[in-house]
């Protein structure tokens, strides 16, 4: 009779002569090859520390399997908790017009004078009506573009109509406007303060790099205007009212420490080292803008080390993608990040409403639509019902084919619990929504970053542990180090 029973697990052999063993809910241990071989041979001493560790992680058990499965099921439901609320993020495009000419523009923005690409009031009203059909108790309306401030009248109309509806629906309602800041005025900021609107902007780094990547159509320095208006935003709305996002081009890849320093200098507490996405102008000019996934991952690792050193020097600053992954790796909880969901977060977590009422499963799906491919178009608020758009055959097919648990390669990948499906990226790169992981650039990037984070965790270094914990808990290192000093992951 076997002394214990193995529960479902996955594993991966690392280059440091360790075997990474993980259960169905992402709880893991690192074993030596000898320990791993003894585990699968049912040769572990049931009183040994390694056996008790494996038992506590529900990778094996010498007690009733039924009670262990119930515990795993509870943890699994916690990891999949994002499915309960359905769509909470609703991205709205008031206009495709823009006053910038970003080199990597992914959304095929139009000139600042092309008003035929503005959302009208009737479509705006139907969009808000559609949004409030979502069963989610949390509704976040995020204005995207183009440059949304070029159609500020419709932005105001949507905010005020949403607030009116919410007096009936009683949901937790949030507003975010994504803007390059160059058109923002004191009057707009006063309005945003009165309606609790947060600001999301773009900063690609120091002045020369930002101006090169994100030039204005009128040729002024976009960085100078950004800097002046960023300070104005903080003055009116407070220091925590604005966040920034960068896009990594070939030029950026060699300047990541300088970009990080710029974010620190300007008072930001995090940076999302975001790789270039193959849509719009970025896809057309990959020779000038692009780089290999291998290069990105290597530069990312160096930048991550640079950021950790900043934290150890007393500067609280996080890398946002690592923070998301670490939350998934080291806590029982999921994250709201659409790209790291299984099934994919498209439509069921976030959807986007274009200026003409078209509803797409994701922002990337909208980008494809602008290029003439409506594969991810779900319907139109002017012509389709909520049920037709969010419960139709197209979205059902997308979700059915984006569960990592049953996708080729993903189904037995040791990193499955931490990753997510991206049917749009698969479609762009390979021509089908399932895709082949063996040649997937997205898979290659995520695998490289996740493995690097796990290798850092395996070192059990107190400084690294403290930095990671400070990111997860969103508290400065000096407030977490003492509590974590004798705690290992």
pLDDT tens profile 287-325:
788 899 999 999 999 999 999 999 999 999 999 999 999
- pLDDT for the residue numbered 282: 61
d(C-alpha 158, C-alpha 124), whole Å: 6
- The structure tokens 């499955």 sit at 416
Q: What is the pLDDT of residues 26-74, one digit of tens each?
A: 999 999 999 999 999 999 999 999 999 999 999 999 999 999 999 999 9
Give the pLDDT confidence score for residue 84 in this predicted structure.
Answer: 86
- ω into 343 cis (within 30 of 0): yes
For residue 346, report the phi and psi dihedrals to the nearest 5 degrees. -60, 130
Radius of gyration of the chain (CA): 24
Q: Which residue has the tokens 């440059």?
A: 147
Whether the per-residue pLDDT at 482 is higher than 60: the answer is no
Q: How far apart are CA 307 and CA 298, in angstroms?
A: 14
* pLDDT tens digits, 10-39: 999 999 899 999 999 999 999 999 999 999
Q: Is the pLDDT of residue 484 over 60?
A: no
Query: How far out from the chain centre does Cα 480 lie?
Result: 25
* 417 confidence band (pLDDT: 50, 70, 90): very high
Helix (H, G, I), strand (E, B) or coil at 62: coil
- Which residues face 173 on adjacent strands? 139
Per-residue pLDDT band for 105 (boundaries 50, 70, 90) equals: confident
pTM for the whole thing? 0.94
Give the relative orientation of helices 441-458 and 320-330 as an angle to the nearest 10 degrees.
Answer: 70
Spell out the SS3 assignment of 409-437. Answer: CHHHCCCHHHCCCCHHHHHHHHCCCCCCH
**CA 476 vs CA 31, 270, 482: distances in Å:** 32, 12, 11
Q: How far apart are CA 264 and CA 128, in angstroms?
A: 37
Please state the rounded mean pLDDT for residues 207-226.
90
Task: Give yes or no for residue 487 having a pLDDT over 50.
Answer: no
Kindly give the pairing relationship between strand 172-178 and strand 138-143. parallel
The single residue listed with the structure tokens 């021509």 is: 431
Q: pLDDT band for 106, please (50, 70, 90 cuts).
A: confident
Average pLDDT of the chain is: 93
The mean pLDDT value for 140-167 works out to: 97
The size of the chain, in residues, is: 489
Are the C-beta atoms of 265 and 315 separated by less than 8 Å?
no
Strand partners, 110: 97
Report the percent of the chain where pLDDT is more than 70: 96
Residue 486, pLDDT > 50, answer no
- In 219-297, which ranges are E strands? 242-247, 270-271, 273-274
For residues 429 and 220, the model is more confident at 429
For residue range 246-288, what is the model confidence (pLDDT) as tens digits?
Answer: 999 999 999 999 999 999 999 999 999 999 887 665 666 677 8
Task: Please determine, for residue 368, whether its predicted confidence score (pLDDT) is greater than 70.
Answer: yes
Q: Are 477 and 463 in contact (CB under 8 A)?
A: no
Structure tokens that stand for 78 in this block: 């916690």
Alpha-carbon distance 364 to 479, whole Å? 39
CA distance to 209, 309, 467, per residue, from 102 (Å)? 12, 32, 34
């Amino acid at each position: 009779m076997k002394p214990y029973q193995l529960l479902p697990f996955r594993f991966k052999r690392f280059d440091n002569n360790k075997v990474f063993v993980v259960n169905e809910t992402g709880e893991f241990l690192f074993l030596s090859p000898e320990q791993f071989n003894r585990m699968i041979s049912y040769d572990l001493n049931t009183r040994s520390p390694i056996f008790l560790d494996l038992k506590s992680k529900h990778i094996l058990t010498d007690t009733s399997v039924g009670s262990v499965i119930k515990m795993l099921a509870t943890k699994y439901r916690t990891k999949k908790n994002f499915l309960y609320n359905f769509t909470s993020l609703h991205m709205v495009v008031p206009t495709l017009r823009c006053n910038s000419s970003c080199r990597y523009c992914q959304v095929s923005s139009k000139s600042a004078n092309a008003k035929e690409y503005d959302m009208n009031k009737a479509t705006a009203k139907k969009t808000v009506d559609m949004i409030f059909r979502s069963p989610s108790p949390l509704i976040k309306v995020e204005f995207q573009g183009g440059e949304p401030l070029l159609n500020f009248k419709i932005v105001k109309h949507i905010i005020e109509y949403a607030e009116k509806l919410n007096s009936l629906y009683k949901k937790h309602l949030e507003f975010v406007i994504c803007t390059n800041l160059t058109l923002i005025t004191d009057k707009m900021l006063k309005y945003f303060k009165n309606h609790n609107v947060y600001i999301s902007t773009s900063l690609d780094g120091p002045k020369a790099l930002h101006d090169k990547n994100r030039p204005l159509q009128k040729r002024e320095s976009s960085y100078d205007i950004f800097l002046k208006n960023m300070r104005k935003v903080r003055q009116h709305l407070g220091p925590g009212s604005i966040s920034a996002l960068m896009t990594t081009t070939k030029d950026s890849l060699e300047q990541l420490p300088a970009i990080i320093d710029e974010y620190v200098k300007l008072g930001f507490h995090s940076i999302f080292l975001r790789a270039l996405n193959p849509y719009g102008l970025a896809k057309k000019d990959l020779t000038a803008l692009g780089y290999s996934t291998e290069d990105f991952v290597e530069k990312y690792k160096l930048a991550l080390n640079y950021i950790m050193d900043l934290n150890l020097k007393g500067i609280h600053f996080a890398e946002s993608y690592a923070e998301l992954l670490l939350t998934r790796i080291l806590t029982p909880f999921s994250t709201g990040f659409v790209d790291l969901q299984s099934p994919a977060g498209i439509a069921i977590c976030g959807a986007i409403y274009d200026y003409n009422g078209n509803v797409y499963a994701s922002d990337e799906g909208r980008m494809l639509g602008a290029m003439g491919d409506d594969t991810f178009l779900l319907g139109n608020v002017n012509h389709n019902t909520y049920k037709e758009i969010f419960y139709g055959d197209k979205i059902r097919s997308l979700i059915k084919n984006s569960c990592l648990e049953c996708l080729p390669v993903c189904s037995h990948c040791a990193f499955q619990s931490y990753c997510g499906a991206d049917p749009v990226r698969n479609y762009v790169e390979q021509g089908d929504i399932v895709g082949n992981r063996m040649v997937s650039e997205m898979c290659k990037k995520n695998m490289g970053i996740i493995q690097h984070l796990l290798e850092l965790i395996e070192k059990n270094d107190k400084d690294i542990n403290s930095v990671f914990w400070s990111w997860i808990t969103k508290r400065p290192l000096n407030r977490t180090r003492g509590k974590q000093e004798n705690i290992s992951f």
